[in-house]
Chain A
Amino acid sequence: MFSLNNLELRKVTISSLLSCIYLPSIVTVISYRGILYSVGKGSSFYILVLIFIAELAKSFYLSSNNDIQSKRSRNKMRASDIVKTFGFLLGVMFCFFVGIILFGAPVLDNHEGTLVLSTLLTLLTIFPLVAHSGVETAVQLLFGVKSFSKDTIVAMLVNNALLTVGGAWLGAVVIPLDWNTPWQQWPIPCYLGAIGGYVLANVMTVLKVTMMSAANKYKFLNFFVNIMNKLHVSK
């Protein structure tokens, strides 16, 4: 893997590996402490803070020593930019909030759970994109105005975002089952589904990069790489 000479690919791999490590660790720790099923409550806010810090750190890593130009632009980032970014994130969060309710979350009660879920989704999907490329570019990327090539940081981030939403979406499947388990409470399945989707996306990225580097030696692995490329949802 470390034969990767493409700097960007290396960054992608390392950041994906980091995500593969830190998120499962958080989940493991809280499940060992027996508070896994309280993730939908406001008391679990510190998890969100942890994720926020981790994502921020990752984005710093991803944008660090990229090239001189971006460094300069990052140095120029002002307070107003930060405010703008936060405003944008709040807006996205609100959109998630309304969207989740429109798609079937309880309307009148349990706003706390819905809010926590929408914060998590914002943190895992939009926030890395915005932190990496700024508000305007993020919007353009989201709506497919700006295209991106495969195996780039942006491609990874968009892929992560899509799988995260997909995971949260699939998590809702278990809610109607009559197993009467504590984790069928709103929004735990969606919350865990989102985390699962995010981790899965990162695992896939790592796997793909591993295959790609190994494919230099074993040609047949290219076949799997192609499959992986196809799997990545493209607009």
Chain B
Amino acid sequence: MLTWLLHKWTGLWLLLIALGGISLFLYGFFPLKYHSGKLSHKDDLPNFIEGVSIDGHEVYNSGENSVVLMVIDGLRYDFATEEYMPYTGQLLKNKSACIYVSVAEPPTVTMPRIKSPERKKEKAQWRRTINFWRDIFAMMTGSVSTFADVALNFGAPAVRGDSVLRVAHAKGCHSVLYGDDTWLRLFPGLWSEHDGTTSFFVTDYTEVDNNVTRHLDTILTPKDNKKAKFDFLVLHYLGLDHIGHLEGAKSPKIKPKLIEMDDIVKKIYTAMQKWDNTGVLIICGDHGMRDAGGHGGASAAEVLVPLVVVKSGGFECPHASGPGPTVAQVDVAPTIAWLLNAPIPGDSTGNILPALMPADIRQHLYLLHVIAAHNAKQGLPTDTEFFKQFKRAESNFARYLSTGQESAAKIAKEFYQESLQEMSKYLTATTTDFDMFSLGLATVLLYLVMVALLFVTLYSLQPDNQRKISVTDQHKTNLGSVVAFAIIFAISGTVLTIGCFITETKSQFCSFNPLWSIAFTLTAFVVTVAYFIIKSGMEKTRDLSPLRELNAIDYLLVIGTLFHTWSFFGTSFIEEEHMTWYFFWNTLMFFVLVRTIVVVVMYFSKRYWGATEVQDKPELQSRMSAVGIGIVPKWVLLIALHRYLRTMNQTGDRWLFLPDTADWLNAPENSFYLQAHLVVGTLLTLAICLWNVRYMNNYMKIHSVLTILATVCILCYRITTDALTTPFDAIKTWDNILIVDVFWWILNAQTIFEIITYIGAFKACGYQLPSSNKFVYSKPKEKSEDYFYDDMEEPWNVDEVKLNLVRSLSHIMYNHMMLIIILLMRPHNVIMVPSIYVTCAMTSKCLDHKLLDSRPGRNTEVADTLGLALVHIWIGAVFYFYQGNSNSLASVDLGSGYVGLGAYSPLRVAARMGLHAYAAPALSGAALFCARAAQADTLPRYLNSVWRVTNIMALQRVYQLSTYCVIAFIFRHHLFVWSVFSPKLLYDFVATVFAVQALTTIAEINILTHIVSWISRSITYKRLS
């Protein structure tokens, strides 16, 4: 098992396991039911009840109806009374209308703080759409939306599955919308007529409603044949909600607003009486409001909304007067679908409102049967009581149909109702249930992996000589460890199985079907592996003395990294995570500033006040000459640069609406400055790339030319997308997809060229190598005496050449990454790429322990590695937020996914979007690994430091992940679970995926080096011998 500890990529494997763990966690966290997206047809209506035939189409027919759905945003239950809405109250009193208590789905997430400039409008609109989603989704599809619905519909918030509007559209109904344009976005193309008002300006509460009401007169006047002009009309009034947001539920403006709404009800009701066909008016709120005016909680005032049903033509409410029975929001969908003579939407779980149920007993029973059968089709377990009840009801219904017994009908009705009640309870429960077993198991797993990684990291941080394998270790038999492994594996498997049975969980994880059994076995395997790694890590980690070299800045880095994760216990610290990072980063920069000033001032004071002391302290002299006096002003300039970059993109939630530099730059009158940013950013990146070319082999000219060509491609791409003006108009007409393709080819060519020159293929072709080839094998001049290998390979400088190759490949990767990222970035963000390089370079220089610590002659390699790894993680995080990312799904830049793509291809789009979003962590990580390669003097040293860095990065990632999983677990019933905690969970998941990807790239570079080195050696030796 020690070999696992010694293995250089154990960290990466453990990270991969953690990825599995977080996947399990996500599986348990996001409610189990996913919407099937099944579309329903009228032919689905059952024509046989237990063999007794019935004409489904004919019985289902509800007559000719025109339905008006009047949604009053923020209408809470106590508003629909005679006090506030006299006419409606009157209708309710004389039983011409029915009122229900409708339960909205909590949490109905708060509206973002609005008042934003143009560019932010889109972002905020999108957020609002998601928030809106749940209520409208429930009313129109008849099913409770899950977070997965939102996440899976990423970027296109339209409802993909079945809905009332879809079935109505399929039937050719005339659907009309007046009101919030979110409806148009959710159900595009399904409206025959619409006028969407933007709900954007919360300060406006008269105009939004007038925009809806102004169409009423035209739409309500009947057609020539005295029938209504429409089949389905949606009116969405926002004014009430806006008043609530502005002034609260006790505002004096509420009452006039409700009177206005009441007048509209009156208008519609009187108009309905004039039609030949039946008119049905459904008035409801989508959510309530707190007394303070907001909404977003699960309190009664926010969740309970009235649902008033009015029908023309001698309708009388069957319920006793009073508050009315309780119904669910999802009941609206099947009701409307039935009224429109359309089939019930595919995923609906609601019932038809009892007041509208037909009096005809045959039709009544048939409708109950349709709904129950519809529910039963959605994967209800057949061994439950309510399913048996449904079957009993069905047989009674069949008996009624064949014999006409009234008693059978009565029994059937009762059974149907009982069964339906239980069914909807069950269906709602399954949509909102967490899979507790998976959650708990995943968290435990992640913690195990975290501890294992901790020991792997600590082990790797030991000084080299401690890691010598003792003789006894080598003599241990393999058989013993195999048996030990098998025993622990069996134990963990048994414990898991017993856990499954003891908790009596319904989790799929314990279902023991073949697919899940694999996951089950893997989990047991992982537990075993983690156990052995922890065990041998505990035994073998003896000497952590290098950690004593940590200075104040290292402690700041370690404590800051540890603390940052725990800050997620506050929702605002998740929403404003950038603030935490900015604070840490500022602290770090402040510390470094003070220390560099102290070093410089000390040097000068010693120099001027006591000239001899400089000679006494040569190490001070050497420290100074390493960085030069310029470090202080440079560092101050860096602070200023960071201050500027911070203003570039407002992010987070609270101050999102504030104008930022990006807004200013994107204004048309400032396009010159925007282009200046773009050009300066691109050219600086080019300069950095050219500077990095020195690590590649001696065909520098070719590398430089290729790099310049790639940059030209980028500039041309910018010109074709109108981000850059140019005197050469011809370029504008070029195809930008072609340009990007050329760009890719250049990058590929560069890599392949490097590898081929390494192998020495050009020499074989007779091309003369310049003398300074880095990839030339030579025998080292002095051979140590005690060199006892007689293997002929060893005397050659294989390791040195390998190190050169690793350096070269790392820098090629870094260069390419920078070039790709400036291609993907928004014009104003291009400047980030060189900034990251500069920051990484200067920070690495200033964090050097030799510069800052006055004690000379210590081995600070480990402390340096630790500090640098952490500081690069910090730089990545800070720039991640500078770039405008946040922990809200709305900040994902979808546009970057389509750069240079002709056709949609999910994988490529996802890769581009991912690289764009995680550009900063990727670049800073790459800079770190390049620096490791460039600074290492021998190959083992390089491998060692890469080993340490990999472990530290993996540890940080898994630490954050496991802690966050605990937090998400604790807060799973929190108000903001869908708006704050879940997106962050997704972000963490994606970050882990990319961390795995990034570390794999480094591993690939190493493997590639070994392979290429092997190939070239076999070629070179052949030629030499």
Whether B602 sits at the interface, judged by CB under 8 Å, is: yes
For the complex, give the distance between the alpha carbons of A191 and B352 in Å. 62
Let me know if A173 and B643 touch, CB within 8 A. Answer: no
- Which residues of A have CB within 8 Å of B653? 178
Contact with B along A219-235 (1 / 0, CB 8 A): 00000000000000001
Given contacts A176-B576, A177-B572, A178-B572, contact A107 B601 (CB under 8 A): no
Convert B555-575 into 0s and 1s, putting 1 for each residue whose CB lies closer than 8 angstroms to a CB of A: 000000000000000111101
Please provide the chain A residues from 72 to 108 with a CB less than 8 Å away from any CB of chain B in the complex.
101-104, 107
The reply to whether B570 and A177 form a contact with Cβ atoms under 8 Å apart is: yes
Which of B586, B605, B640, B643 contacts A143 (CB under 8 A)?
A: B605
> Which of B583, B586, B602, B640 sits near A145, CB closer than 8 Å?
B602
Specify which chain B residues have a CB less than 8 angstroms from the CB of A61 in the assembled complex.
Answer: none
Q: How far is the CB of B653 from chain A (nearest CB, A)?
A: 8
Query: Is A175 in the interface zone, CB < 8 Å from B?
Result: yes
Chain A interface mostly: loop
Q: Which of B480-505 contact A (CB under 8 A)?
A: none
A182 to B575, CA, bound (A): 20
Residue A144 at the chain B interface, CB threshold 8 Å: yes
CB-CB under 8 A from B583, the residues of chain A are: 172-173
Q: Kindly state the separation between the CA atoms of A140 and B605 in the bound complex, as whole angstroms.
A: 9
Report the Cα distance A143→B604, complex, angstroms: 11
Given A102-B643, A169-B587, A143 and B573 touching (CB < 8 A)?
Answer: no
Query: Nearest-CB distance from A228 to chain B (Å)?
Result: 19
For window 496-555 of B, CB contacts with A under 8 Å fall at: none
B580, closest chain A residue (CB): A176
Given contacts A104-B586, A178-B654, contact A144 B598 (CB under 8 A): yes
The reply to whether A175 and B647 form a contact with Cβ atoms under 8 Å apart is: no
| B579 touches A (CB below 8 Å) | yes
B363 to chain A minimum Cβ distance, whole angstroms, is 53
Asked if residues A104 and B643 are in contact (CB atoms below 8 Å), the reply is yes
B597 at the binding interface (Cβ < 8 Å): yes
Bound complex: CA of A169 vs CA of B643, how far in Å?
16
Interfacial residues of chain A within 187-230, with CB under 8 A of chain B in the complex: none
Q: Are A101 and B643 in contact (CB under 8 A)?
A: yes
- B582 in contact (CB, < 8 A): yes
Chain A nearest CB: distance from B105 CB in Å? 24
Q: Are B605 and A176 in contact (CB under 8 A)?
A: no
Interface size class of B (residues with CB under 8 A): 20 to 34
Q: Residue B315 at the A interface, CB < 8 A? A: no
Q: Is B590 located at the chain interface by the 8 A CB criterion?
A: yes
Q: Considering the chains assembled together, what is the distance between the CA atoms of A121 and B520 in angstroms?
A: 60
Query: B91: CB under 8 A from chain A?
Result: no
Cβ-defined contact, B654 with A143, below 8 A: no
Closest A residue, CB atoms, query B653:
A178
* Smallest beta-carbon distance B592→chain A, Å: 13
Interface check B639, CB cutoff 8 A: yes
Select A176's contact among B579, B586, B589, beta carbons within 8 Å: B579
CB-CB < 8 A to A101: which residues of B? 643
Residues in B whose Cβ lies below 8 Å from that of A177: 570, 572-573
Q: Mark B628-657, 1 if CB is under 8 A from A, else 0.
A: 000000001001100100110000111000
Nearest chain A CB to B959 CB, angstrom units:
22
In B243-281, the 8 Å CB interface with A consists of: none
**Using Cβ atoms and an 8 Å threshold, which residues of chain A touch B605?**
140, 143, 145
Contact A103 B602 (CB under 8 A): no
For B578, the closest partner residue in chain A by CB is: A176
Residues 299-315 of B, flagged 1 when their CB comes within 8 A of A and 0 if not, give 00000000000000000
In the assembled complex, how far is the CB of residue B485 from the closest CB belonging to chain A, in whole angstroms?
47
A residues 135-166 near B (Cβ < 8 Å) are 140, 143-145
Residue of A nearest to B586 (CB): A103
**A164 vs chain B, min Cβ distance (A):** 14
Report chain A residues within 8 Å CB of B636.
Answer: 102
Give the shortest distance, in Å, between A108 (CB) and chain B (any CB): 9
A143-B583 Cα distance, complex, nearest whole Å: 24
In the bound complex, CA of A176 to CA of B580 (Å)? 9
B376 nearest CB across to chain A (Å): 45
B579 near A144: Cβ-Cβ < 8 Å = no
Assess A104 versus B582: contact at CB under 8 Å? Given A143-B597, A143-B601, A235-B598.
yes
Find the A residue at minimum CB distance from B567. A173
Name the distance in Å between B332's Cβ and chain A's nearest Cβ.
34
CA distance A172 to B602 in the complex (A): 31
Q: Is the CB of B597 within 8 A of A107?
A: no
Residues of B within 8 A of A143 (CB): 597-598, 601-602, 605
Residue from A103, A172, A176 in contact with B573 in the complex, judged by beta carbons closer than 8 Å: A176
Q: Specify which chain A residues have a CB less than 8 angstroms from the CB of B570 in the assembled complex.
A: 177
B residues within 8 A CB of A172? 583
Among B589, B639, B647, which residue has its beta carbon within 8 angstroms of that of A107? B647
- Per the bound structure, the CA–CA distance linking A176 and B590 in Å amounts to 20
Q: Could you say which residues of chain A place their CB within 8 Å of the CB of B582?
A: 104
Taking CB atoms and an 8 Å cut-off, the chain B residues in 588-614 that contact chain A are 589-590, 597-598, 601-602, 605-606, 609
Bound Cα distance A175, B572 (Å): 11
B589 to chain A, nearest CB (A): 8
Residues in A with CB closer than 8 Å to B571 are 178
Chain B, Cβ-Cβ closest to A169: B587
Chain B residues near A104 (CB-CB < 8 A): 582, 586, 643, 646
Chain A residues whose CB sits within 8 angstroms of the CB of B602 once the complex forms: 143-145
A175 to B579, CA, bound (A): 9
Q: Which residue of B lies closest to A235 (CB)?
A: B598
Bound complex: CA A101 to CA B639 (Å): 10
Q: How far is the CA of A208 from the CA of B739 in the complex (A)?
A: 71
A102-B573 contact given A143-B598, A176-B654, A235-B598, CB 8 Å threshold: no
Let me know if B572 and A176 touch, CB within 8 A: yes
**Which residues of the other chain, A, contact B601 by a CB distance below 8 angstroms?**
143-145
Which residues does chain B contribute within 8 Å of A169, judged by CB atoms? 587, 590
Shortest CB distance B622–A (Å): 19
Bound CA–CA A117/B756 (angstroms): 62
Chain B 348-369 interface 0/1 with A at a Cβ cutoff of 8 Å (1 = within) = 0000000000000000000000
- In the bound complex, do residue A178 and residue B575 qualify as a contact, i.e. CB atoms below 8 Å apart? yes
CA distance A69 to B140 in the complex (A): 90
Tell me which residues across on chain B come within 8 A of A178, comparing CB atoms.
Answer: 571-572, 575-576, 653-654
How far does the alpha carbon of A178 sit from the alpha carbon of B654 in the complex, in Å? 8
A235–B591 Cα distance when bound, in Å, is 12
- A101 to B647: give the CA distance in the assembly, Å: 12
Query: Which residues from B are CB-within-8-Å of A145?
Result: 601-602, 605-606, 609
Chain A residue nearest to B590 (CB atoms) is A103
Cα A102 to Cα B646 in complex, Å, equals 10
Given known contacts A107-B647, A143-B605, A177-B570, is B640 in contact with A102 (CB within 8 Å)? yes
What are the 7 tightest A-B residue pairs by CB atom distance, in nearest-first order?
Answer: A176-B579, A143-B601, A176-B576, A178-B572, A145-B605, A103-B586, A102-B639
19 more contacts with CB within 8 A, not counting A145-B606, A177-B570, A178-B571, are A101-B643, A103-B589, A104-B586, A104-B646, A107-B643, A143-B602, A145-B602, A145-B605, A145-B609, A169-B590, A172-B583, A175-B579, A176-B572, A176-B652, A176-B654, A177-B573, A178-B653, A178-B654, A235-B598
Interface residues of A (CB under 8 A from B): 101-104, 107, 140, 143-145, 169, 172-173, 175-178, 235
**A/B interface sample: 17 pairs, CB < 8 A:** A102-B636, A102-B639, A102-B643, A103-B589, A103-B590, A104-B646, A107-B643, A144-B602, A145-B602, A169-B587, A175-B579, A176-B573, A176-B579, A176-B654, A178-B576, A178-B653, A235-B598
**Interface residue ranges, B against A (CB under 8 Å):** 570-573, 575-576, 579-580, 582-583, 586-587, 589-590, 597-598, 601-602, 605-606, 609, 636, 639-640, 643, 646-647, 652-654
